[in-house]
Amino acid sequence: MRIEYTGLSEMQGSLIALEGVSGVAYDELAEITLGSGERRYGRVIRIDGERVVLQVFEGTTGIDMERVNTHFTGKPITLPLSKEILGRIFDGSGKPLDGLREVFPDELRDINGSAINPVRRMYPRSCIMTGISSIDATSTLIRGQKLPIFSGAGMSHNELAAQIVRQAHTMDTDEQFAIVFCAMGVKNDTAEFFKKDFQESGALGRVVMYLNMASDPIIERILAPRCALTAAEYLAFHHGYHVLVILTDMASYCEALREFSSSKGEIPSRKGFPSYMYSDLASVYERAGMIYGQKGSVTQVPILTMPNDDISHPIPDLTGYITEGQIVLSRDLEQKGIYPPVAILPSLSRLMKDGTGEGYTREDHADLSNQLFASYSAVADARSLASVIGEDELSDIDKLYVEFGKRFENNFVAQGMRENRTLDQTLDLGWQLLYMLPRSELGRVSDKLLDKYYRGVK
Amino acid sequence: MDTNSYYVYGVNGPVITVRGGRSLPMMSLIYVGEDKIPGEVVSANGETTVVQIYESSAGLTKGQPIFPTGKPMTVLLGPGMLSNIYDGIARPLRAIADLAGNFITKGITLPALDTEKLWDVKIEAREGGDAKGGMIFARTQESVAVEHRCMIPPEVFGKFADVKPDGQYKVTDVIANVVDGRGKKTPLTLAQEWPIRRSRPCAKRLPITRPLVTGQRVIDTLFPVGKGGCAAIPGPFGAGKTMVQHQLAKWSDADIIVYLGCGERGNEMTQVLDEFAELKDPKTGHLLMERTILIANTSNMPVAAREASIYTGMTIAEYYRDMGYHVALMADSTSRWAEALREISGRLEEMPAEESFPAYLPSRLAGFYERAGYMETLSGLEGSVTVIGAVSPQGGDFSEPVTQNTKRFIRTFWALDRSLAYARHFPSINWTTSYSEYFLDVKDWYEDNFGHGFTKMRQQIIDILGKESSLMEIVKLIGSDVLPDDQKLIIETAKAIRQGYLQQNAFHKTDTYMPPEKQMVMLEVMLYLYEESRKLIALSIPLNQLTETGIFSAMYKMKFDLGEGQTKEYFITLVDDAVSKVLARNE
C-alpha cells in the first residue's frame, strides 16, 4: 500500500516538516510530488514523535504548504551501480546527465557507506608515479592515499590534477585503472576542461563523472562526493579497479554544509561552519584505502581552494588533519611563472616514508627527499637575510643557497604540462642540484649514499 | 525492569529521545531499536529521556523498542586484551571483522574477551584465607611479555571458598568464591567488569619520582614526563604529533601501552598494527604488540563512541596499573574527543561556551587527566598511569580552548612547531615554548641513572639554546659574519645541538631509539667541544680555523656513529685532534 502525506507544517531553506507521520526511519529517502506534478527527493533528518523534518535535495523553491504529496520509500538513499557507469556522467545525486537511460543496477548501495574496519585495512605502500618531480620526489602519492591539493583561486590546480590523471601509473602496468571525477559547485568551464582533457587522453571510457555545478542545489552538493565514493568503492572492492577519485572543489562542499547547517538553525562553530564539519569531512576523506585480500584500491586527490590563500582557514585546516598530507600550491611561484607551482616546504605526503626507498622505488629516494627539503628550507633563510642586507653582503654559503634555490625552482619544480619525467630523471636532477652545495652541507644523507650519488652531471 | 513500555520517540543524529517511562537511570547503558544499538542515558526531562547512541541512527523509526540494562556502561577486563584492537566502547574489532567482513556494520555486540580460550592459571587463593578487594588471587601468562594478575574486584571482602586447583580455565569460569561475613557468595572469574566513567580505586597516590624514559633525546633530556604524570603534544597538522605518539608507544619504558586512536586516520591504526607486530622492545626483546592494547575510533566511526573511547582506554590502563604495572596511555587526539563532546552538546541544544564547546569542557578534561598518577595499589604494589595526550588546535593556534584548558591539567608541554616541521626538523618540539615541570621531581633519578652531573649539563644546553635564540634576532638583521667569535661559537654549538642532538630520525635503524647512557655521552662530547673551543677563542684563535677541521659537522653525525658502536673516547680524541691541529697551525 502506498501511503502519501498531503501538505506540510513548516518550510525553511531546504527543509520541510510534516506532522502526523508514523513508521518513518531516520535517513530514509522520500519522494515529494508538487502540485505541478514535478517530483523531488528528500531525506529524513529529524524525527520528533509524529513530526518529521526532511531536507529536499532540489531545494524548496516553488513548493507550497498545501499542494504537495510526500511518500516515504522505506529505504535509505541508494545509488544504482553496475560496470556500465564507466564512461557515464551523472548529477550530484546520481541521476544521468548524459541523456542516456538510468543505470540498470547490479547492486544498490547506501551512499553513506560504512567505515572500513581498521584490522582489514592494508597499509598503503605502492607508489603512484605522476611524472611530476615536485610530487614524485618530495611528496610521493601512494596508492590508497588521500592527498589533497591546497590551492587558491586562480591558480593552476585544475591543470595539475589533469596532469596527474594523464600521467599517473604504477610499477605494474596490466592493472585495471579507473577515474571517478566529482565536481562540487564548480563552474561549467571547469567541468568542461576536465571532460575535454579526459577525452583527449582517451581516458573518457574509464571515467565516471558526478557533476554538481555552481548553480545547482547545495543539498546535491553534499550528496555528490558520497555518490562518487560509493561508485569508487564499488569499482575498487567489487571489480578490482584501482580508482583515482578527484573531488573538486572541497571549499564549495564545505560552504554548502555551512549553508545547510544554518538553515537547520544549528549552533555555528568557527567562521560559521558547523561543529561537526570534522566528522563530516572525515566521512568523505576516510573512504580511501586498500583492504586485505582485495585487488582494487581507492586513492583520493581532493582539490580545495583556500579562501584568501589562508591555510589556517577551517576548511584546509580540518582537511589537513584528516588527509595523509597535502600538496600546497604557492602564489609566489605561480607569479614567477613556475608550473606546477608546488610549494615544497608545506607539502607533505605522510605515507611516502613507507613506500619509498629500497625495495619500493630507489635506495636514495628517502634521504634525497629529506635533503632537498632541508636545503630548500635553508634557501628561505638566506633569502630573508638577503632581503635585509642585500644579496652581495651574504656569506659565500648563503650565496650558494640563493643560487640553489633559483635553480631548484626553475629546473626541478618547474616542468611542462605534458612533460612526464621518470623517477630516475627526477632523482638524478635532484642530485645534480645538490652537487652545487658542498658535501658538508648535506647532513641528511648517509655517507654511503653520498659516495655513490654525490657527483657532477653524467 | 519492564522492557516493553519504552520506545523511541525522536531521532536527531546520534541523539535519541525515548518515552514510555521515567525509570531509566542517568548514564546507564541501554540498547536502542531492533538493531540493539548501544547507548547511554544523558539527560531526562518529564516524560522524555535523552540517549546518545554509539552507532549510526539511520533506519531508526519512532516506536522501535528500547532494552534497558539498568547498569552503567562497563568494560570487561581480563586476560586477552593485550595485542588486541577495540573500538571506542571496547568491542573487539578483529572478531567483528570475522563476523561482518571488511566494513563495520551496525548492531554487533560481542564481549571484549575471547570467552572460549583456555588460560593456564596458577591459583594463589587459599581455601578459607582472607580475601579483600584488589588482592591478586590468580596469575596467568597473558602474553610472552606480560603476566596477567587476576584481582578481586575492589569492593569485595571476605574469605575464600570453593577454590579450584591450578589448571586451564576460560575467562568466565568460576575460580573461587568470596564469602563475606553474612554468608553472601561472590564468584571470582579471571575477568571482571568495571564502569568506564568511574576511576578504579587504589590505596594511595605516591609522589612522582621517576621519568618515563623514552629514548627520544629532546624529551628525555629537556622535557621529561614523570611516570604517573601527564603530558600534552599540541601541534598543527603535519607537525608530527602522531609520529611522536608512535615513537613513545614504541620505545618508552612502560610495561603496558594503551594506544587510543581517537578520531584519527584509519591507516594510522593499521600502521601501528603492522609495525608493532614486527618491532621489538629494546628492553625485553619481546614484540611490542605483546604489551600493547589498541583502541580505534577512526574519524569516520560513530562520534558518540569517540566521546566514550578515552574512558574505555583509561579504565583498561587503570586495570593494568592495579596489577602493579607502569602503563602509558597515548591519546591521539584529545581535540577530536572534545569536538565529539561539542557535537553531542550541540545536538542536546545546550548553551555553548567558548568556540561553541560546552561549558563543562574543562571539568571533563580535568576528570580525564586526574585519573593518571603513580599509585600504591590495593594489593600493595606500585603502578602508574602516564597520560600523553595529543592536541590538534584549530589552525595551529594554541590559544584555542582545548589547548588552553589542557595546559591547566598537564605538567609537560611539548609544543610542536610548524616551521621546524617544514625544515624537516623532527621531532618538531620547540625548545623555547615547551616545558616540563617534572624535571625537579625526577632530578635525583637522573643523577643516579643517567650519570652524575646530568642536571648541570642539561642546564648548559638550555643556556646555549637560549642565547642562540636571542642572537638569531641579530643574525636575521645583519648576518652571522659580523658577530664576535664567542657569539659565533654559541651559534655553531647550538646548531650542533639542534641538528645533532635534538633532531632524531624515527626511520633510522639505530637513531630511532637512543638509550640514556648514549644520550649522556653525546652531551658530554658536545659540551667538551664547547669548552675546548672557548679556550681557543681565549687565545684569540679565530673560530673558523676550528670549524674548517669539520669537527662541528662530525657532531651532526655522532648519533649515527654511536649507534654503530663508537665510544665516547673516540669522539673525545676527535675533538682533541682537531684542537691540536688548530693549535699547531698557530704555533
Spatial neighbors of A288 by CB under 8 A, at least 6 apart, are A144, A145, A146, A245, A298, A299, A300
Q: Is A57 helix (H, G, I), strand (E, B) or coil?
A: coil
Subunit contact A122:B270, Cβ cutoff 8 A: yes
What ipTM does this complex have? Answer: 0.88
* Residues of B whose CB is below 8 A from A444: 424
Q: What percent of chain B has pLDDT over 90?
A: 73
**B507 interfacial to chain A (CB closer than 8 Å):** yes
Determine the residue type at B224: P
Same-domain pairing of B208 and B60 = no
Q: Is B11 helix (H, G, I), strand (E, B) or coil?
A: strand
**Torsions phi, psi of B21, nearest 5?**
170, 170
Is B103 part of a structural domain of the chain? no
Q: Which three cell numbers stand for residue B487?
A: 657569539
Q: How far is it, in rounded angstroms, from Cα A349 to Cα A139?
A: 5
Instruction: List the domain range (segments joined by +) for residue B516.
Output: 454-585
Task: Report the CATH number that the domain containing residue B501 is assigned in CATH.
Answer: 1.10.1140.10
DSSP output for A431-448? HHHHTTS-GGG-TTS-HH
Q: Is B563 helix (H, G, I), strand (E, B) or coil?
A: helix
Same-domain pairing of B417 and B369 = yes
Helix H or strand E encompassing A243: strand A242-248
Which of A267, A314, A393 is opposite residue B356, by nearest beta carbon? A267
Question: Beta strands B28-32 and B37-45: pairing type?
Answer: antiparallel
Residue labelled with grid coordinates 611490542: B288
**A266 interfacial to chain B (CB closer than 8 Å):** yes
Q: What is the mean pLDDT of residues B506-512?
A: 88
- At B178-235, the pLDDT tens digits run 999 899 999 999 999 999 999 999 999 999 999 999 999 999 999 999 999 999 999 9
* Residues of A whose CB is below 8 A from B299: 278-279, 282-283, 285-286, 322
Question: Beta strands B292-297 and B326-332: pairing type?
Answer: unpaired
Interface test with chain A among B52, B57, B237, by most A beta carbons within 10 Å = B237
Last residue of a domain, one of B190, B217, B236: B190
Residue from A437, A372, A439 nearest A133 by CA: A372
**B299 interfacial to chain A (CB closer than 8 Å):** yes
In the DSSP assignment, the letter for residue B220 is I
Residue labelled with grid coordinates 568466565: B172
Beta bridge partners of A43: A29, A55
Same-domain pairing of B218 and B184 = no
Question: How far off is chain A from B448, nearest CA to CA, in Å?
Answer: 34
Alpha-carbon dihedral B367, B373, B378, B381, rounded to 10 degrees? 160
Helix H or strand E encompassing A218: helix A218-239
Is B95 part of a structural domain of the chain? no
Strands (E), A338-443: 342-349
What's residue A456's pLDDT?
Answer: 64
Which of B9, B263, B342 is opposite residue A275, by nearest beta carbon? B342
Subunit contact B103:A325, Cβ cutoff 8 A: no
**B396 interfacial to chain A (CB closer than 8 Å):** yes
Task: Report the CATH number that the domain containing residue B182 is assigned in CATH.
Answer: 2.40.50.100
Q: How far is it, in rounded angstroms, from Cα B417 to Cα B395?
A: 12
Q: Which residue of B has its CA nearest to A327?
A: B238
How many residues would you count in chain A?
458
Q: How far is it, in rounded angstroms, from Cα A392 to Cα A381?
A: 15
Is the pLDDT assigned to residue B1 strictly greater than 80?
no
- At B413-462, the pLDDT tens digits run 999 998 899 888 899 999 999 999 999 999 999 999 888 899 999 999 99
Cβ proximity of B435 and B413 under 8 Å: yes
Interface test with chain A among B62, B397, B420, B555, by most A beta carbons within 10 Å = B62
Q: Which three cell numbers stand for residue A421?
A: 619525467
Q: How far is it, in rounded angstroms, from Cα B289 to Cα B272?
A: 9
Helix axes B516-538, B454-478, angle to 10 degrees: 60
Q: How far is it, in rounded angstroms, from Cα B367 to Cα B373?
A: 12
**B453 interfacial to chain A (CB closer than 8 Å):** no
Residue from B72, B153, B78, B74 nearest B115 by CA: B78
Cβ proximity of B53 and B14 under 8 Å: yes
Same-domain pairing of B311 and B368 = yes
Sign of CA dihedral A194, A197, A199, A203: negative
**b/e per residue, B82-104, with b = 16+ CB within 10 A?**
bbbbbbbbbbbbbbbbeebebbb
Is B441 part of a structural domain of the chain? no
- What is the tally of structural domains in chain B? 4
Q: How far is it, in rounded angstroms, from Cα B281 to Cα B257?
A: 12
**B63 interfacial to chain A (CB closer than 8 Å):** yes
In the DSSP assignment, the letter for residue B104 is P
In the DSSP assignment, the letter for residue B164 is P
Same-domain pairing of B166 and B36 = no
Same-domain pairing of B475 and B578 = yes
Q: Which of residues 74-133 of A touch B (CB under 8 A)?
A: 76, 110, 112-124
**B399 interfacial to chain A (CB closer than 8 Å):** no
**B422 interfacial to chain A (CB closer than 8 Å):** yes
Is B10 part of a structural domain of the chain? yes
Last residue of a domain, one of B17, B38, B73: B73
Q: How far is it, in rounded angstroms, from Cα A435 to Cα A432?
A: 5
Question: How far off is chain B from A217, nearest CA to CA, in Å?
Answer: 23
Q: Which three cell numbers stand for residue A132?
A: 611530476
Spatial neighbors of A63 by CB under 8 A, at least 6 apart, are A8, A11, A16, A32, A34, A40, A56
**b/e per residue, B274-307, with b = 16+ CB within 10 A?**
bbbeeeebeeeeebbbbbbbbbbbbbbbbbbbbb
How many residues would you count in chain B?
587
Q: Which three cell numbers stand for residue A209?
A: 563523472
Last residue of a domain, one of B159, B190, B221: B190
In the DSSP assignment, the letter for residue B59 is T
Same-domain pairing of B406 and B487 = no
Is B374 part of a structural domain of the chain? yes
Question: How far off is chain B from A24, nearest CA to CA, in Å?
Answer: 5
Same-domain pairing of B66 and B136 = no
What's residue A458's pLDDT?
Answer: 45
Answer whether the bond into residue B173 is a cis peptide, omega within 30°: no
Same-domain pairing of B378 and B459 = no
Residue from B14, B82, B77 nearest B51 by CA: B14
Q: How far is it, in rounded angstroms, from Cα A335 to Cα A328?
A: 15
- At B312-338, the pLDDT tens digits run 999 999 999 999 999 999 999 899 999
Q: How far is it, in rounded angstroms, from Cα A103 to Cα B153?
A: 60
Supply the mean pLDDT for chain B.
92
What's residue A457's pLDDT?
Answer: 53
Q: Which three cell numbers stand for residue A258?
A: 555551512
Which of A49, A114, A121 is opposite residue B270, by nearest beta carbon? A121
Same-domain pairing of B224 and B340 = yes
Task: Report the CATH number that the domain containing residue B51 is assigned in CATH.
Answer: 2.40.30.20
Cβ proximity of B317 and B327 under 8 Å: yes
**b/e per residue, A143-171, with b = 16+ CB within 10 A?**
bbbbbbbbbbeebbbbebbbbbbbbbeee
Cβ proximity of A298 and A245 under 8 Å: yes
Which of B9, B94, B553 is opposite residue A49, by nearest beta carbon? B9
Q: Which three cell numbers stand for residue A257?
A: 554544509
Q: Is B72 helix (H, G, I), strand (E, B) or coil?
A: strand
Residue from B226, B229, B263 nearest B338 by CA: B263
Same-domain pairing of B311 and B422 = yes
Cβ proximity of B247 and B390 under 8 Å: no
**B360 interfacial to chain A (CB closer than 8 Å):** no
**B504 interfacial to chain A (CB closer than 8 Å):** no
Sign of CA dihedral A333, A334, A338, A343: positive
How many A-B residue pairs are in contact by the CB < 8 A criterion?
A: 211
Same-domain pairing of B425 and B322 = yes
DSSP output for B368-421? HHTT-EEEE-TTS-EEEEEEEEEE--GGG-TTSHHHHHHHTT-SEE--B-HHHH
Which of B10, B336, B423 is opposite residue A47, by nearest beta carbon? B10
Is B373 part of a structural domain of the chain? yes
Is pTM beyond 0.90? Reply is yes
Residue from B218, B162, B123, B151 nearest B429 by CA: B218
Q: How far is it, in rounded angstroms, from Cα A439 to Cα B557?
A: 13
* Residues of A whose CB is below 8 A from B53: none
Subunit contact A24:B62, Cβ cutoff 8 A: yes
Is B83 part of a structural domain of the chain? no
Residue from B194, B178, B180 nearest B138 by CA: B178
- Measured distance between the N- and C-terminal CA atoms of chain B, rounded to whole angstroms: 97
Q: How far is it, in rounded angstroms, from Cα A19 to Cα A53?
A: 9
Task: Report the CATH number that the domain containing residue B241 is assigned in CATH.
Answer: 3.40.50.300
> Taking every pair of C-alpha atoms in chain B, what is the biggest distance, in angstroms?
100
Q: How far is it, in rounded angstroms, from Cα A333 to Cα A343?
A: 8
Interface test with chain A among B86, B108, B245, B267, by most A beta carbons within 10 Å = B267
Q: How far is it, in rounded angstroms, from Cα B400 to Cα B398?
A: 5
Question: How far off is chain B from A163, nearest CA to CA, in Å?
Answer: 25
**B238 interfacial to chain A (CB closer than 8 Å):** yes
Q: Which three cell numbers stand for residue A272?
A: 560559521
Burial (0-12, 13-18, 19+ Cβ within 10 Å), B459: exposed
In the DSSP assignment, the letter for residue B48 is E
* Residue ranges of chain A with per-residue pLDDT less than 50: 458
Is B446 part of a structural domain of the chain? no
Question: CA-CA distances (angstroms) from residue B587 to A375, B525, B584?
Answer: 38, 26, 5
Q: How far is it, in rounded angstroms, from Cα A178 to Cα A19?
A: 46
Q: How far is it, in rounded angstroms, from Cα A155 to Cα B556?
A: 40
**B7 interfacial to chain A (CB closer than 8 Å):** no
